[in-house]
Amino acid sequence: MERYRVRPGGKVKLAKVDAQATEAFDGDKRKAESEVFPKLNDRLEELQERLWAEHRRKVLVVLQGMDTSGKDGAIRHVFDGVNPSGVRVAAFKAPTQEELDHDFLWRVHRVAPGAGEIVIFNRSHYEDVAAVRVRNLVPPKVWKRRYDQINDFERLLAETGTTILKFFLHIDRDEQKERLQARLDDPEKRWKFRRGDLEDRARWDDFMKAYDEALSRTSTEHAPWYVVPANKKWYRNLVVASVLVKALEDLDLKSPEPAEDLSGIVIE
């Protein structure tokens, strides 16, 4: 999965990234879904249990992308079967007045993972250098400072025991068109459609430019970005799960010893 990692100092150009790519698994959807992904899912469940039991380290997963890029779907599939007591999802929508009364990272820091937790950000603080920028919600001098502020914030989390993995789920404009139309046509999914989706779609190039800079400026050794080809949902899930499992394995998690001596106990 290293092919999708943005190296520190690297320059991202999303327009040149093939959102249709499936090369890491040779495009074999059947084998990926029936053999590879179930094993990853089982391994993730095992590692997450150890993380929770050890109750020392923390994991933050950031999912970012354009509308319909599959953030909800990735959460639903990748984390299927994990222990809900140790996994939390934090979704970021338009800030409340209370949140606006604080610095832009206040609402993010308060839901960061605690010991033993995996927390998934569905959208994130990166809205404050992407959507905020494209929609002209704050002056350029404000959002331009935020790259360094985000890097400092994520360094703080990393230095206090948080493993940070950031995924940009990359779909192309044609795929978004199909997904938005499908959402509009399906009575069960129409509730997710909003007119603002079309306004953002009209600014596609501006969003790509904003994300190009955000990914380039904030992919670090302690908080790397992965640009995930996400036109194929099965492939998106495999890439995210593969990176996450590898990161957890690298932590060399150990189940703790019992807090008391259990020798000699006989259960009648």
Domain boundaries, the chain: 2-250
**Assigned token pair, 150:** 């985000």
Short-list 146, 101, 152, 155, CA closest to 127: 146
Q: Which amino acid is at 21?
A: A
**pLDDT tens column, 155-203:** 999 999 999 999 999 999 999 999 999 999 999 888 888 888 899 999 9
Tell me if the domain spanning 2-250 has CATH number 3.40.50.300. yes
Question: pLDDT tens digits for 98-124?
Answer: 999 999 999 999 999 999 999 999 999
**pTM, entire model:** 0.95
Q: Which of 257, 263, 266, 240 is nearest to 59 (CA)?
A: 240
Stated as kind and residue range, the H or E segment containing 64 is: strand 58-65
Helix (H) or strand (E) holding 175: helix 173-185
